[in-house]
A and B are shown apart, each in its own frame.
Chain A
C-alpha cells in the first residue's frame, strides 16, 4: 500500500520560513501529482498547492511546493510566516489504483 508520511508537528517564528515534508512509502512519488491542503480548526480543508507546485488563485506566493524524486518526497514551503498560517497541513496524492492517499497531517505552530 502506498503511504505518505509527514512530520507530526513543526513550529517556527513569524517572518521565518518553514518546510513540511511528505515522503512516499514505495514506488515513485512523481507517478501522480501531489497536493497540499490547509485546515484551520473548525473549518473544511482548502487547497494551497495542487499539481506539485501550482498555487490556486488567492493563495499568496509565500506558499510553494516541490518534488524531490531522489528522496521520493514532496515539500511545502511557507516563507514570511504569519500567525494566520497556523493550521494543519495535509499532503495528498494517489496510488497505482487511482485511489486517494493522504499524509497523516502536520500541525504548524507559529510562535
Chain B
C-alpha cells in the first residue's frame, strides 16, 4: 500500500526555523514526484511546490519561492518542507502528496497533514 506519513503538530515562535517531514512507503521513492500543499485555517488548498526525488529538481509556486525549501532524503524515503524564519501567517495545515504518473499528474495519496502553529 502506497502511504505517506507526516510528522506531528509543531508549535513555534515567529523567527524560529522548522522542518516537517513526509515519509513514503509502499513504492520506489524516486519514482514519484512529491508535492506540498498549504491550507490556512478555514481556507482552501494552495499549491506550494514539488520535487523530483530522483534528482532533487524543484518547482515552486511564486507565492512560496524564497520562503520555504523543499528537499528529500532518498536513503530514508522522506521529503521535507522547511522554513528558516517562521511568521505568524505560516500557521496552517500542510499536506504532502505524491504524483504517481509524472509531474503534471494527480495528487495521490495524500499525507495526513501536519499542523504548524506560529505564535508568540
Residues of A near any B CB (own CB < 8 A): 32-33, 35, 37, 39, 44-47, 50-51, 56, 88, 90, 92, 94, 97-105
A-B contact count (CB 8 A): 61
Residues of B within 8 A of A99 (CB): 47, 59-61
Q: In the complex, what distance in Å separates the CA atom of A32 from the CA atom of B101?
A: 13
Stretch with Cβ within 8 A of A (4 or more), from B7-15, B73-81, B82-90, B105-113:
B105-113
- CB contact under 8 A between A33 and B106, given known A99-B61, A101-B47, A102-B44: yes
Residues of B within 8 A of A45 (CB): 37, 45, 95, 107, 110
| Contact among B45, B59, B108, B112 for A102, CB-based, below 8 A | B45
Residues of B within 8 A of A100 (CB): 35, 37, 47, 50, 61, 107
Contact-residue size bin, chain B (C-beta under 8 Å from the other chain)? 20 to 34
- CB contact under 8 A between A104 and B44, given known A98-B59, A99-B59: yes
With both beta carbons as reference points, the residue of chain B lying nearest to A104 in the complex is identified as B44
| Contact among B103, B107, B112 for A92, CB-based, below 8 A | B107
Q: Confirm or deny: B46 has a beta carbon within 8 angstroms of a beta carbon on chain A.
A: yes
Q: Can you give 16 contacting A-B residue pairs, CB < 8 Å? A: A33-B105, A33-B106, A37-B45, A45-B95, A45-B110, A46-B108, A46-B110, A50-B108, A90-B44, A92-B45, A99-B60, A99-B61, A100-B61, A103-B44, A104-B44, A105-B45
Inter-chain contact A37/B44, CB cutoff 8 Å? no
With both beta carbons as reference points, the residue of chain B lying nearest to A35 in the complex is identified as B106
- The smallest beta-carbon distance between A29 and chain B, in angstroms, is 13
- The smallest beta-carbon distance between B15 and chain A, in angstroms, is 29
**CB-defined interface of B4-27 with A at 8 Å, one 1/0 digit per residue?**
000000000000000000000000
Q: Confirm or deny: B104 has a beta carbon within 8 angstroms of a beta carbon on chain A.
A: yes
Q: In the complex, what distance in Å separates the CA atom of A51 from the CA atom of B60?
A: 22
- CB contact under 8 A between A105 and B110, given known A98-B59, A98-B103, A99-B61: no
Q: In the complex, what distance in Å separates the CA atom of A105 from the CA atom of B110?
A: 17
Of A50, A100, A104, most B-chain CB atoms within 10 Å: A100
- The smallest beta-carbon distance between B20 and chain A, in angstroms, is 14
